[in-house]
Each structure stands twice: as C-alpha cells, then as structure tokens.
C-alpha cells in the first residue's frame, strides 16, 4: 500500500499584456494591499505580544477592515498573514535593526476567491470588482492548474506581472534504493557526487569562477563607494547582491534538478553530509571563507524538496574524516595535503572530494542496512 502525503508546491506564471484599465486597477490594488499590510504591522507593535493569527485578528481586525473597505475581506486577512510573516522574520534576525516595513509589490488572495479557467485567472480587485487576467501557461504546466489550489499571489516585478499559485501535490512514498549517490560539499567545487562503485563521478563547479569575479567587483566598489564618481555605489551594490542571490538560487535549482533526476533514473538514494557544523568545519582560513560564499543550505533544501516530489530517498550522514578515509580499504590518514588522496596502505589514489563522496555513499548504505534514521 502506498502512503500519500500532501506537500505544497508553488508555480510561477507570467501574465500576458494587460490593457490600461486592468493594469491601473491591479496597481491600485497592490498599493492598497501594501498599505494594509503596514497597518497590520503597526497593530502588531501596538499589541506588544508575539503575533499570532488569533491575537492580532481579535485586537485590530475591525479597525483595519473599516479603514480598507475597498479591499475584499479575505484580502485584508491575507495582508494580516503577510504582516505576521514579515514581523516574525524580523524577530528571527539577530541584528534586527529598524522596525519592519512591508515593501513587496504584491497582492495575495485565498484560493476561495480565485477562479481559473483555461489560461485565465479571475481575482477580486478594489471595490469588489472582479477581473479576468490572461496568463501564459506552458503545455507542461496545464495539469498544475487542475490541482487543489491554496494561496495565489500576483507580483509586480519591473514592468511585468506574475502569478504565483500554490497547490497541494501528492508526495509519493520513497522507493527502496538499489544504491546511494554520495554528495560532498566541495571546497574547490560547489558539490562533488559519486557512488560506491565509482560509476558516477561528477564535479559541479561551473559557477566558482563567476562567483569569484562578482566578489572582486563587489570589493572594488566597496573601496570606492565614498568617492564622488561612485555616489550611486550603494544602490549598485544592492542590485548586485540581489542578482548574486538570484543566480545562486537558479544554479542550486539546476544542480538539485539534475541530481534528483539522475538518482531517480538509477533508482538510487541521495546521501548528503549533515548540515550540522557545516560552517564550523575545521579547515583553513581560505577554505572556510569559500564555504561561506555559497548558499549551501538553499541547495540542500532544494535537493530535499525535489527528492520528496519524486520519491527519492535522502539520508544525511556524519562527514567526519570522509576526505581522509580510503574509500577502497577504509584506512584513515592523519591528514591529506593537496587535492589528491593517496592511501599509504593499499596505494589507492583519487581526487579527495570524489573520495569523500564515495565514503558518504558508503555510510548512507550502512545506515540503511542498520535501519537507522538520519537528520540534517
């Protein structure tokens, strides 16, 4: 019997070109939503307690609803939810700084207020006016619109509008793996993967040189940001930082997608070194600096997420000594110099990251045989 779980998946659709009336109405609704969310943030401050949907709704809903009568009542509550999320994120930030302000150019709807027919979506805008908005729906995503929808969000990004639709999808039970693919968090590479037999050997390092160029450019701009010729340096740095995060996220998405596809094709599981202590790993200053330059937690969360959607089992293993242990005979060296692992006992030689990936795959196999669970 297959046990089915529900998990949330969000898909992005671009709106087709809108006429002037619809564009102005949508912009006005987005602007009012932003003001409403900030009103909720001020109410949270006045409440003086950790915000929950229950206590903040009881404290301020009537006042906020009266002020924003032109918005659908469910949209007002969605603004409340976004304000709570924004405030909680601010509380989790150790630096905190100034009080949070909701700046996103979005409007959010509950599924009950949204209708989808073909490539059109119908949403309530200001003053109870409902409009049909045309979306670009690729053939491969038509099935997604037939799923049970949850939150729907419309975002204004530069000159375009995008619809983000969240839906519940079935999470298949993980299959019984025939083997394991080890994933080593690289130092000279983003990740390195290999299996116990050495049939898979792959280095993901296509972005390392790009990241280095970005860091050099950023350092030059930071040094010159106070000169007269660089008055807009802070603005450029902020834009560069956003592009940097976006590209890292896209690269992580591509790596995770390819890795999960490979594992599913081979009917293998994915073994990843545990996240615990990743940033505190005992390596040299140069290596530690590089570990801090890539969004590894984002990458691993993407691998986990895509693996769940495809029924691919994932195990986290302790990476201790994986780069110093021979993946052929099991002998552990006191230290490894350079990029190449050489076993003094059996003479086996291999790239140290590939060697570590194979050891990670072996440890996952042992955990599976013992029936032990793993945690990130």
**3-class SS of residue 168:** strand
Kindly write down the DSSP assignment for every residue of 234-283, as one continuous string. HHHHHHHHHHHHHHHHHHHHHHHHHHHHHHHHHTEEEEEE-STTSTT---
Mean pLDDT, residues 147-156 taken together: 91
Torsion of CA 152, 157, 161, 163, to 10 degrees: -20
pLDDT, tens digit, for every residue of 174-201?
Answer: 999 999 999 998 767 889 999 999 999 9
**The whole model's pTM is what?**
0.72
Q: For 38-77, write each residue's pLDDT tens digit.
A: 999 999 999 999 999 999 999 999 999 999 999 999 999 9
Q: What is the pLDDT of residue 350?
A: 92
Q: Rounded CA gap, 55 and 110, in Å?
A: 20
> What mean pLDDT is reported for the chain?
86
**Region 238-256 average pLDDT:** 79
Comparing 187 with 10, the larger pLDDT belongs to 10
Nearest to 362 by CA among 328, 313, 335: 328
CA distance 166 to 373: 30
CB 325 within 8 A of CB 341: no
Q: What is the DSSP letter of 112?
A: G
**pLDDT at residue 24 is higher than 60:** yes
| 238 neighbors 253 (Cβ within 8 angstroms) | no
| Best-predicted range by mean pLDDT (117-121, 145-149, 291-295) | 117-121
Instruction: Label residue 110 by pLDDT band (50, 70, 90).
Output: very high
Length of the chain, in residues: 376
Residue spans per domain, the chain: 5-171, 179-370
Give CA–CA dist 193/200, Å, rounded. 7
- Residues 123, 142, 26, CA angle at the centre, nearest 5°? 20
CATH topology of domain 179-370: Nucleotidyltransferase; domain 5 (3.30.420)
DSSP alpha helices (H): ranges in 285-351? 285-291, 296-309
| Contact between 41 and 100 (Cβ < 8 Å) | yes
For residues 16 and 359, give the distance between their C-alpha atoms in angstroms, rounded to a whole number: 50
> Is the confidence at residue 346, as pLDDT, over 90?
yes
Q: Which of 244, 258, 248 is nearest to 295 (CA)?
A: 248
Q: pLDDT-derived band of residue 170, with 50, 70 and 90 as boundaries?
A: confident
Nearest Cα to Cα of residue 304 among 294, 315, 318, 319: 315
Share of the chain above pLDDT 90, in %: 60
Query: Which is it for strands 160-171 and 5-15: parallel, antiparallel or unpaired?
Result: antiparallel
What is residue 209's predicted lDDT score, i.e. its pLDDT? 54
**Mean pLDDT to the nearest integer, 208-237:** 55
């Amino acid at each position: 019997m297959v046990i089915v779980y529900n998990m949330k998946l969000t898909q992005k659709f671009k709106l087709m070109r809108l006429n002037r009336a619809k564009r102005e109405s949508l912009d006005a609704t987005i602007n009012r939503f932003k003001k409403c969310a900030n009103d909720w943030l001020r109410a949270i401050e006045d409440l003086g307690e950790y915000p929950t949907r229950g206590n903040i709704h009881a404290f301020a809903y009537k006042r906020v609803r009266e002020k924003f009568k032109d918005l659908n009542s469910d949209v007002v509550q969605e603004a409340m939810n976004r304000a709570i999320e924004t405030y909680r994120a601010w509380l989790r930030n150790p630096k905190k700084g100034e009080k949070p302000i909701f700046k996103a150019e979005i409007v959010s709807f509950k599924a009950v207020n949204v209708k989808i027919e073909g490539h059109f979506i119908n949403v309530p805008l200001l003053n109870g006016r409902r409009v049909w908005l045309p979306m670009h729906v690729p053939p491969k995503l038509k099935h997604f619109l037939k799923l049970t929808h949850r939150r729907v969000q419309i975002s204004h990004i530069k000159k375009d509008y995008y619809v983000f639709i969240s839906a519940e999808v079935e999470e298949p039970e993980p299959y019984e793996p025939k083997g394991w693919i080890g994933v080593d968090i690289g130092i000279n590479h983003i990740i390195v993967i290999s299996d116990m037999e050495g049939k898979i050997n792959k280095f993901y390092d296509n972005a390392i040189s790009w990241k280095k160029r970005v860091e050099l450019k950023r350092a030059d701009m930071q040094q010159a940001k106070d000169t007269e010729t660089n008055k807009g340096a802070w603005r450029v740095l902020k834009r560069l930082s956003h592009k940097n995060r976006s590209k890292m996220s896209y690269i992580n998405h591509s790596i995770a997608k390819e890795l999960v596809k490979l594992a599913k094709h081979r009917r293998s599981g994915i073994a990843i070194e545990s996240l615990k202590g990743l940033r505190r790993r005992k390596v040299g200053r140069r290596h530690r600096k590089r570990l801090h330059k890539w969004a590894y937690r984002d990458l691993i969360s993407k691998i986990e997420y895509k693996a769940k959607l495809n029924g691919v089992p994932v195990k986290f293993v302790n990476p201790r000594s994986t780069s110093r242990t021979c993946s052929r005979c099991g002998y552990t060296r006191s230290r490894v110099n350079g990029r190449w692992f050489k076993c003094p006992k059996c003479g086996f030689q291999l790239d140290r990251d590939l060697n570590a990936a194979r050891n990670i795959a072996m440890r996952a196999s042992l955990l599976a045989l013992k029936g032990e669970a793993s945690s990130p």
